[in-house]
Amino acid sequence: MKNHLSYRFMPMIILSYLFINLYLIMIGSKWCESEGCEVSKSLLKIEQSDLYSLAILAFGILLFIGLKILKTNSVILKELYKLGVFSVLICETILLSYLYFKTGSLCISCFIFYLLVVVNYLLIDPKDKKIFIIFFIVGTIAFLKLDVNTKASPHLTSKYTLLQSESCQHCKKVKLFLKENNITYSKEKYTNFDGLFSALNITKIPLMIVKKNKDNFILLNGVDEIVQYLKVHELEKVSKENETKSNSFSTHISLDEKEGCEINFLQKELENCNE
């Protein structure tokens, strides 16, 4: 009965779980969405649906091997099956640990998959001490990522939130434009949003978050992109009698300025940030 649980039922359970998640992703469900998921897509350069497809392929092969084991009781196939499950377990341990210590969040569906793989491995050989490698991996990643802000990003209440640094000259240009055109906004230190920058591979500030509604945001990166958006969506809303005044944008802003201060998170400083 134990062999059937290890080599047949567990891979079937895991495959069923993966297929359900893949279906939910395809219909646009938010079951598998978190800041951690966004980081994983950026890190692996692969979509969630493709990631689940690879997992389905892996456990499809493992199920085939497991069924062969039940028929032949082959020692070689048992070791191959064990190696396959352990490889998936190590990859998922590295990915989830990195995501957690990088963003402070985990995808629930991914974590459940991870637990199912752990159970499958323990059913194969509960006395195998290689399982303790997991704790070593988690500890190592935690040590390497101690300087990463693991707090969730601050709650956004304003329509416009500027992620900036007081020492960033490009940020000062945007703040001057906002002030001279009486546009209400809030500002946050860019270091409070490490996870967001990593997830979307954004390397420069200023970055403006435009809150369209509760679940819809727009990101604007760089002086030119921010100013051009505000020209269209804010200053052109004014009445005709004030149109001339409102569209005489700040002469301090160079609209062909597309550069921003480059972020070096490793050294906690900004680069190429001269006026």
pLDDT tens per residue across span 223-259: 999 999 898 888 766 544 454 444 443 434 444 445 6
Mean pLDDT, to the nearest integer, of 119-143? 80
pLDDT of residue 239: 43
- CB 152 within 8 Å of CB 105: yes
pLDDT of residue 30: 58
pLDDT tens per residue across span 196-206: 776 676 888 89
Number of neighbouring beta carbons within 10 Å of residue 94: 15
Which sequence spans correspond to the domains of the chain? 2-144, 160-271
What sign does the dihedral 115-119-125-128 (CA atoms) show? positive
Number of neighbouring beta carbons within 10 Å of residue 241: 8
Mean pLDDT, to the nearest integer, of 107-113? 84
Q: Top-level CATH class of 2-144?
A: mainly alpha
pLDDT of residue 150: 38
**Terminal-residue alpha carbon distance, the chain:** 72
Of 260, 77, 243, the C-alpha closest to 167 is: 260
pLDDT band at residue 31, thresholds of 50, 70 and 90? low
Of 184, 208, 183, 185, the C-alpha closest to 196 is: 208
Amino acid at 73: N
Number of neighbouring beta carbons within 10 Å of residue 103: 26
Q: What topology does CATH give the domain 160-271?
A: Glutaredoxin (3.40.30)
Amino acid at 224: D
pLDDT of residue 246: 42
pLDDT band at residue 16, thresholds of 50, 70 and 90? very high
